C-alpha cells in the first residue's frame, strides 16, 4: 500500500492534496490525522468526565476548532451508537462537500480519533440533518421505483451510489416480498437494480 504524508492549512486541504497525488477515491484511503497541540481541552487529549456523549462532543468540537470552524454540536444516542449533528453559520455546504464526500471524510477522521477514547463506540456525523434528509430522499426514490417495477414488470435502477447508499436501498426494500435488489457495476459508485419477483 502506498503511503503519503501531507500538510495543509486545514484537514480538508491536506486530504484533498493527498488523494489527488495518490489518484485514489476517498473510500480507498486509510486516513490518519496528526495535530500539533498541547491544549488538553482539545480533541487529541484525555477528557476527564466519563460520560460518553460529553467525550464525543469534546472530540468533535476540538476537531472543528482546529479547522477554524465555529459550530454548535449536539450528540445523541446510547449503547455504543451515537450521532453528532453539527450546525455552522454559513459553512454547512463546505463541510458537506460534493455529494457529502467531505462529510464522509470528516466522519472517518472523527471515528479514528474517537477510537483512542471510546474504542467500542460507533459515531455517525451529520451536518444540519443533511444526511437524514438525503437518506429519506434515497429511500423514498427506491420505494417509488419498486412500485413501478411491480406495476410494469420491468427492472428499475438507481445509479451512482456509494456503498452506504446501496446498503440503505437494500435494507429499505428487503421486507418487500414482491421485489429483489442487487448491485451492478465497477468502482466505488455503482447502481442498484430493483427486479420484480416472478409470480
CB-based contacts of 90: which residues, under 8 Å, 6+ apart? none
Residues 39 and 105 grouped into a single domain: yes
Q: Report if residue 115 sits inside a domain.
A: yes
| pLDDT for the residue numbered 36 | 47
The three three-digit cell numbers of residue 55, written as one number: 467525550
φ/ψ (deg, to 5) at 94: -65, -40
Helix (H) or strand (E) holding 165: helix 163-173
State the total domains in the chain. 2
Residues 152 and 71 grouped into a single domain: no
Q: On the CB side of 177, how many CA atoms lie within 13 Å of its CA?
A: 1
Q: Report if residue 192 sits inside a domain.
A: yes
Q: Which of 193, 29, 33 has its CA nearest to residue 109? A: 33
φ/ψ (deg, to 5) at 179: -135, 160
Residues 115 and 143 grouped into a single domain: no
| pLDDT for the residue numbered 107 | 93
Question: In whole angstroms, what is the distance from residue 89 CA to residue 97 CA?
Answer: 15
Question: In whole angstroms, what is the distance from residue 125 CA to residue 33 CA?
Answer: 17
Q: Domain end: 75, 102, 128, which one?
A: 128
| pLDDT for the residue numbered 29 | 55
Domain that includes residue 89, residue range: 11-128
Helix (H) or strand (E) holding 177: none
Residue whose grid cell is 454548535: 72
pLDDT per position in the chain (199 positions), as tens?
555 566 665 555 666 666 566 555 554 555 555 544 434 434 433 434 458 999 999 999 999 999 889 999 999 998 889 999 999 888 889 899 888 889 989 999 999 999 988 999 999 999 999 999 999 999 999 999 999 999 999 999 998 888 888 999 999 999 999 999 999 998 877 999 999 998 7
Q: Report if residue 177 sits inside a domain.
A: yes
CATH number at residue 170: 3.30.1370.50
| pLDDT for the residue numbered 147 | 97
Model pTM score: 0.62
Amino acid at each position: 500500500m502506498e503511503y503519503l504524508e501531507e500538510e495543509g492549512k486545514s484537514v480538508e486541504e491536506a486530504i484533498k492534496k493527498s488523494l489527488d497525488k495518490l489518484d485514489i477515491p476517498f473510500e480507498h484511503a486509510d486516513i490518519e490525522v496528526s495535530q500539533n497541540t498541547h491544549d488538553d481541552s482539545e480533541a487529541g487529549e484525555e477528557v476527564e468526565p466519563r460520560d460518553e456523549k460529553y467525550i464525543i462532543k469534546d472530540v468533535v468540537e476540538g476537531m472543528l476548532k482546529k479547522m477554524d470552524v465555529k459550530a454548535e454540536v449536539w450528540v445523541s444516542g446510547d449503547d455504543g451508537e451515537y450521532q453528532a449533528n453539527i450546525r455552522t453559520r454559513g459553512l454547512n455546504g463546505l463541510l458537506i462537500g460534493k455529494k457529502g464526500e467531505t462529510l464522509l471524510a470528516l466522519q472517518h477522521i472523527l471515528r479514528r480519533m474517537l477510537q483512542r477514547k471510546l474504542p467500542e463506540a460507533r459515531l455517525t456525523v451529520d451536518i444540519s440533518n443533511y444526511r437524514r434528509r438525503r437518506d429519506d430522499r434515497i429511500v423514498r426514490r427506491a420505494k417509488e421505483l419498486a412500485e413501478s417495477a411491480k406495476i410494469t414488470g420491468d427492472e428499475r435502477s438507481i445509479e451512482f451510489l456509494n456503498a452506504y447508499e446501496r446498503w440503505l436501498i437494500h435494507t429499505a426494500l428487503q421486507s418487500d416480498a414482491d421485489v429483489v435488489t442487487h448491485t451492478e457495476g465497477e468502482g466505488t459508485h455503482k447502481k442498484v437494480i430493483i427486479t420484480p419477483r416472478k409470480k
